[in-house]
Amino acid sequence: MRDRLRKLRQLFHHQDRLLILIDADPDSIASALALKRLLWRRLAVCTIAPIRAITRPQNQTMVRLLEIPLTAFDQIQRDDFNRFALVDSQPSHNPLFADFAYDVIIDHHPLLPQSSARFLDIRTGYGSNSTIMTEYLRQAKIKPSMKLATALSYAIKTDTHNFERPSIEADIRAFHYLFRFTRHALLRRIEIAEMTLEMLHYFQLGLNRQQRRRERVYCYVGRVPNPDILVILAEFFLRVIEITWSFVGGVYDNRLVVIFRNDGIRKNAGKLAARAFGRLGSAGGHASSARAEVPLAHLLHLPPPDDVPAWENFLISQIEGG
């Protein structure tokens, strides 16, 4: 860590203007905030820019309560920066990322062939990228502020799903270290901010339209203004004691989005998603959670998305066939 920290800091000079790009979720937001703190006083400018709008209520609450400064990607003037960094992601994860040449990439996802930077730190075994960033802070002997520690703690909890997903001892050590600096009342407030009033309508739809087959729940809710609604519904159904799988689908931005969730006991959501929808669009994920996205242009054999019974049957047949 000593050598890594030294090499990271040697990349930058006081006149540099750094843009940190993220696809905003708790882990990427907290990681970017930690990188900004690591390079404090070594840069003229450091800006964190999410490439798309933050729509999930918990993430919005995290940014608001912890007063995290973010600048929307479409408000960025690229020429205003001469250094670029990417955290909790790699260039091929999104076409917008691929358009930059990076000085720094720090990530915990599997290394992809196209990923290159002057400073590259990829640690696939880590459950959270915020664990890596916490190790940098500790090596730099930087005591995290209450807000930074709370952001990093929440990110580690979220990405490891409270240490239920694959993680390593380093994740536990980082969380334990951050515990004393974390404002736990704020952390709890972020965790319970799961939905908006608008989302309650889709809960009613989901409860009315859900179909149960053995220990599985299938639900198609039609068009949604935010795909996070589907995630929240899928996780809600899994709280029912008789349910071990939940599948929730809806149409957003001319794509069919399907969320897969299970209880994590001898199941693999990622493989099922790939078998069910991989030939039609992008699909994959972890053992207990996965996602599929299929462009409507690939589903022209189906009636319009407002034909709920037809799309319900399609959803079930694809998954059952998978």
* Angstrom distance (rounded) from CA 158 to CA 25: 9
The pLDDT-based confidence of 321 (bands split at 50, 70, 90) is confident
Average predicted confidence (pLDDT) for the chain: 94
Whether 3 shows a pLDDT value over 90: the answer reads yes
Q: Indicate the domain borders of the chain.
A: 2-192, 200-321
Give 136's pLDDT tier (boundaries 50, 70, 90).
very high
pTM over 0.75: yes
What's the confidence (pLDDT) of residue 97?
94
Just give the CATH number of 200-321. Answer: 3.10.310.40
How far is it, in rounded angstroms, from Cα 216 to Cα 245? 5
Q: How many CA atoms lie within 13 A of 318 on its CB side?
A: 27
DSSP annotation of 215: T
| CATH architecture for residues 2-192 | Alpha-Beta Complex (3.90)
- Residues 288-298: pLDDT tens digits? 899 999 999 99
Which tokens sit at 280? 């039609």
> pLDDT band at residue 151, thresholds of 50, 70 and 90?
very high
pLDDT score, position 268: 94
Structure-model confidence comparison of residues 111 and 257, the more confident one: 257
Those residues whose C-beta lies under 8 Å from the C-beta of residue 28, and which sit 6 or more positions away, are 22, 50, 87, 88, 89, 129
Q: What is the pLDDT of residues 162-218, one digit of tens each?
A: 887 778 899 999 999 999 999 999 999 999 887 788 888 899 999 999 999 999 999
- Compute how many other C-beta atoms are within 10 angstroms of the C-beta atom of residue 10: 11
How does pLDDT run across 238-248, given as a tens digit for each residue? 999 999 999 99
Task: Check residue 322 and give its pLDDT.
Answer: 65
Residue 50 three-state SS: strand
18-54: per-residue pLDDT in tens?
A: 999 999 999 999 999 999 999 998 999 999 999 999 9
H/E element, 103: strand 102-107
Q: What is the DSSP string of 82-123?
A: SEEEEESS-GGGSTTGGGS-EEEEEE-SPPPTT--EEEEEE-
Q: Is the pLDDT of residue 8 over 90?
A: yes
